[in-house]
Structure 1
């Protein structure tokens, strides 16, 4: 794909700079600005007053609402104007005031957002974040730099995630929560400081996970966080018991992986 597709509809009050790549059936509304190194996939729609800048690639069928700024320079004191990237997958919606920043050289040079994600008004994705698919960031969610959010996680309104933190698949973060430590897959965290209150049973049920499996995951959760040793040691000790349960193994693998942050638990943050 190169240049501006003949089927693209660009409002006369929009600015699309030379060099931008605009796909088939793209709609660009009034007062939008598209930079010279931007690629918009087929079927994208920029409603109005949208800025897409930098070396940014957006997949098919994105909808971007007014006052969103996508691909801006990283908000990092270490950034010295190097050319870094933002890549967004297909079928993502970015509501009013959403901001997403490109990566930093020190963080690998790229911010990556997957497919079928929903970003509600004024949510922020900082430099070097790595996001999977089917994620929801509610209004005013703030992701600091280098955060990883795995598939189908949901972050409630006003929650904030500390830099380098991981949020596991199918995790649920309650509104206004402070996420300072890694949240296991299927975990449910609430509060400030954030406390891991249990499992996202509603999300697991909606994902089609059988009740008997949910009971096994609950049992493993208690073994991990209520055992006599540390959570990591407890997780390693029960692996053989759950080799036939992919959901538990996913949690154990998450805990065993290297991370810059400690692990959220039912006790961390409590007096």
Structure 2
């Protein structure tokens, strides 16, 4: 069994066939999905989708790529949502230095504010760090007392080691399946398996066999198989350890109990 630790299955791209998408994922052994938010306007819809479908676990946050959609008061609203909804994480939040037009100072302020909320509520953080891994590490150190995952990790071994020391896991998905992703594939082969979780980032970042297509949870086992081949390990071990890592980080077993109660 697998946990997809990063799926935007709540977005419009899945409105026509969300149930079928989740059924296909379940048939492939992907039974649980962590669903991070994008902006405050989408939090109610995210909550509704996660309530309608078994095995979906919400996280609430403010994605750095959607900076224009965020208001300063959204941080106060986020505190209310975290207190009331008891999600499995804060996120998706972080820094994106790939898009030049995004105000880096404002990104940093929003990221720090969300990190402080994660610490306040003792929740893990789902971090977006594109061309900004060092800056994200600096922010995690500055706030302190955190744990989480850097999703779609594409940094160096040294950065991975720094994150592991801070209590952060590395999310690997479709990009690791591309043969030209030499550094990422070496990292997937060499780091301790206890540092890794699996993700799709659906509907984005499809694997090499589905390039240009909508990504979905059923493709996660191919990511696991790729990592197993790179590490010369059984895919069953990849599934077991990464699932245990995700369960521990997001307290998924406790979250399932809360879902049944409510």
TM-score (norm: length of structure 1): 0.24
Which is strand-richer, 1 or 2?
1
Bigger relative contact order, structure 1 or 2 (CA pairs below 8 A, ≥6 apart): 2
Which is helix-richer, 1 or 2?
2
TM-score (norm: length of structure 2): 0.25
